[in-house]
């Protein structure tokens, strides 16, 4: 993929993810806050409002407020900037690793927006599970971060190997 194609994909994913993420968080604040959780699909899906001041599964939520907010916002900014630079400058990125990076960047930005607007807290509202096996509470940005990480783990690691395994089309038969 060319740099322009990668940037187009990034901006398209950013637009969709940020719109969905912020809209669903707004709906959660309006309709789920101060209400009991709601269960759907026989208990598989649950909507329940939560504000997460920490990272994944509230990691770091007990740190002093100033340290926590600075650390989490700073790491988030570093992640977003670093992945964006990698996406823009990466020469061996095809569509799947680019999509994975765009999901990671979008998810990171979605949660960063929350941290800045809501005093360091991220709005979470979804829980999935079957029987006693349940996820932690999460949001669209978290879903994109997880999906992007899994997709990159599989496609980012294999895309270069696939390209190296393919014969070079320039002069591969000539000796």
Question: Does the active-site annotation cover 124?
Answer: yes
The two structure tokens encoding residue 144:
């994109």
Question: Does the active-site annotation cover 168?
Answer: no
- 3-class secondary-structure state, position 53: coil
CA distances from 42 to 46, 66, 131, 134, 171 (A): 10, 41, 10, 13, 61
User: What letter would DSSP give residue 91?
Assistant: S
The whole-angstrom separation of Cα 146 and Cα 111 is 13
Q: Which of 21, 92, 114, 124 is catalytic?
A: 124
Q: Which of 21, 92, 142, 173 is catalytic?
A: 142
Is the Cβ–Cβ distance between 13 and 106 less than 8 Å? Answer: yes
State the catalytic residues.
124, 142
């Amino acid at each position: 993929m060319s740099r322009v194609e990668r940037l187009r994909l990034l901006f398209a994913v950013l637009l969709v993810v940020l719109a969905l993420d912020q809209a669903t968080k707004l709906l959660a604040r309006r309709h789920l806050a101060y209400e009991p959780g709601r269960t759907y699909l026989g208990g598989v899906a649950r909507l329940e409002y939560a504000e997460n001041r920490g990272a994944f599964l509230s990691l770091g939520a007990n740190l002093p407020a100033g340290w926590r907010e600075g650390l989490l916002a700073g790491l988030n900014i570093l992640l977003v900037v670093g992945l964006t630079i990698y996406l823009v400058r990466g020469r061996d990125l095809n569509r799947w690793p680019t999509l994975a990076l765009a999901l990671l960047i979008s998810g990171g930005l979605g949660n960063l927006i929350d941290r800045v607007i809501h005093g360091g807290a991220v709005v979470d509202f979804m829980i999935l599970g079957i029987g006693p096996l349940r996820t932690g509470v999460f949001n669209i940005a978290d879903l994109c971060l997880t999906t992007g990480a899994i997709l990159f783990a599989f496609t980012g690691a294999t895309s270069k190997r696939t390209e190296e395994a393919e014969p070079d089309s320039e002069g591969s038969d000539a000796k």
